[in-house]
Chain A
Amino acid sequence: MNTQPAIPTLLVAEHVTRHFVTQRGLFWNARRVVRAVDDVSLEIHAGETYGLVGESGSGKSTLGRLVARIVSPNGGRLHLNGRDIAESGDRHDYARRVQMVFQDTLGALNPRLNIGRQLMEVLDIHAIGEHASRQGRATDILRAVGLGEDAARRYPHEISGGQRQRVVIARALLLEPSLIVCDEPVSALDVSVQAQVIELLRELQQRQNVAYLFISHDLRVVRQVSHRIGVMYLGEIVEQAPRSALFAAPRHPYTRALIDAVPSSQPGRRRAPLALRGEPPSPVEPPSGCRFHTRCAFALPVCRNEAPPQRLVGPEHLVACHLADTLDLAA
């Protein structure tokens, strides 16, 4: 360690696994196990944003739900502030420390309560403050997310998607959590509004030192908000690094492919045709060895047979690839 004071670790996930059992077929029950999250370890520090990227089905949302304690792990442990979350109070208490923000804001809000009532309800449930002071608190939080007092009297369907996401963020903030799991919070929003919500999240983080687990399929957004980034593929984190290292010098071929797939943003510098072929295989029967080998342009026989261990290749830079030392993937 260097001489800088260590930033306290807020959340630790150790070898966390979550499998789901699905039943398929009309007349017979074929039990299949989906390995949504498979032996994932990560740390989130206080006040930082940890970005989680990957294709659909990579398990990033399930990992977010595990962290928010909406689902519980089949294996491994999660610690918050050094305490095992399974042994530290119930879900109700946990909600005061870890909150969640979803993509679908209409689904996340109660259509039959006005915004003010929904915010008050949170304070009622958690018995925070005197009843009389709660209204003031709800108004304050609305102002903090850039909404006027009159928003309290509106119903979810009466306001725009961007405003609704502000309400959902306000509701998450009411309990002053130390971590908010944001699952695709800006994916349903127009680019103009997306920028507003990203800036709001950043501003709130500076003011309240809240940490985010920021889940998104959009690498451009993740680059904007994250301090560190984890790349998921078929239930595993294949690469994890500080933002600048990940984009300047990715060490996993899958990370390189994800970056290459992003539209160029500069006309005249057309993106080269993507080298990555096909779609992710089913997480029900993930490929042997390295799960990415079926789509990897560099795969060797060893990749088919042996799962690559995670190795440290730079400061806070972990990668699980047999070829990490031989490939030069920097742009």
Chain B
Amino acid sequence: MQERVSGDGATIPVLSVRDLSVGVSGRGNGLLPAVDGASFDVAAGKTLCLVGESGCGKSMTCLATMGLLPPLARITGGRILLDGLDICRLSESQLTKVRGARIGIIYQDPTTALNPVMTIGRQIIEALTLHRALSGKAAEAEAMRLLDRVGIADARARLRDYPHQLSGGMNQRVMIAIAIACRPRLLIADEPTTALDVTIQAQVLDLLRGMQDEFGTAMLLVTHDLGVVADMADDVAVMYAGRVVEHGAVGDVFTSPMHPYTEALLACMPRIDRDERLLSIRGVVPSLANLPAGCHFRERCDYATEPCAQARPSDDGGGLRRSVACFNRRAAA
């Protein structure tokens, strides 16, 4: 596979994922390909969104990037470079140092991601002690400043609260405070607003965008909501059955989707500014144990032809500016 060139050609991206494959052990099926040859870059200050239906490998890609794959899953190929450092080759203790210090993580459900028996103050201070060697008064002052920064009023009192005393939206703000405590180079957010009300979602997305502008953080954002993608992304990678089927700048992908799957996903997105009928995609994402031969999207695709059943289309090598893996790619508008 050819070496891809980042957006402006010169800068090294903060995160560079190349041909990443993740296998999951199935019942007597050997390793199932949860992620299959995914490649993408995230540059400083930019956001890449991973989109696709459930079971397309978005979260597995994230977990691999964080070095947090579940026991039954492992990386079977490819590289994950964080500022040029291959994190697949790090030992667990080296990884622990990288996580938190250079990678901040935000999960979908903040109430289970936070420790229920520790005050939120202690949880923030723990991150500051481990990764920034702050302690005592200095750590507490910094924790208060962070809470204030993520928009939590009366920060001093809130430090002594436990997660169950705060709302889901407030807990997500605490998660963000912990994630940015060490001013990480990369922020990974897996469906960060899916559990929140639309108003709180808007506030949290505004907050993430503000952080990014301030610190120049690179962000890998997983979401199933194309509206959130339109709002947040610079680039978008569309995943289907473990593969990145289309990749490009968000404006290009939304205005002229080239992969039939992207086109179909966009057509079923309900929009606030239109009353048009929604289209849908027939069938469901195939299970990993039962992937169809040829193109995995073939059975749900309106444009499938003979070659689609024979072989799997590979990426057209368009590089990270725009690439599509389809024999019958739609013409760019």
Contacts from A to B (Cβ < 8 Å): 55-56, 160, 162, 190-196, 198-199, 217-221, 223-224, 243-244, 247, 257-268, 270-271, 273-274, 276-277, 279
Contact = CB atoms under 8 A, between A and B. Distances in A.
Contact of B270 (A220, A244, A273): A220
B187 interface: no
A93 B127 CA distance: 59
A269 to B, nearest CB: 8
Interface in B256-308: 264-265, 268-273, 275, 277-282, 284
Interface stretch (B74-82, B88-96, B154-162, B197-205): B197-205
Contacts of A261: 198-199, 201-202
Nearest to A268: B251
Contacts of A195: 268, 270, 278-281
Contacts, number: 125
Interface stretch (B6-14, B65-73, B224-232): B224-232
Interface of B: 53-54, 167, 169-170, 197-203, 205-206, 224-231, 233, 250-251, 254-255, 264-265, 268-273, 275, 277-282, 284
B301 to A, nearest CB: 13
In the A-B complex, the 4 residue pairs with the closest CB atoms: A263-B227, A195-B268, A195-B280, A220-B270
Nearest to A224: B270
A192 B200 CA distance: 24
Contacts of A271: 202, 231
A194 B230 contact: no
Given A190-B53, A223-B270, A265-B273, A217 B278 contact: no
Which among A56, A247, A267 has the highest number of chain B CB atoms within 10 Å? A267
Contact of A264 (B53, B231, B268, B282): B231
A256 B199 CA distance: 11
A261 to B, nearest CB: 4
A220 to B, nearest CB: 4
Contacts of A218: 198, 270
A190 B224 contact: yes
A220 B228 CA distance: 13
B197 A220 contact: no
Contact of A220 (B169, B227, B229): B227
B277 A262 contact: no
A265 B251 CA distance: 11
A267 B269 contact: no
Given A192-B53, A195-B268, A265-B226, A279 B279 contact: no
Contact of B167 (A264, A267, A279): A279
B280 A199 contact: yes
Contacts of A244: 275
27 contacts: A55-B200, A190-B53, A190-B224, A191-B225, A193-B280, A194-B270, A195-B268, A195-B270, A195-B278, A199-B278, A223-B272, A223-B275, A259-B272, A261-B202, A263-B227, A264-B227, A264-B231, A266-B273, A267-B229, A267-B251, A267-B255, A268-B251, A274-B206, A276-B199, A276-B202, A279-B169, A279-B200
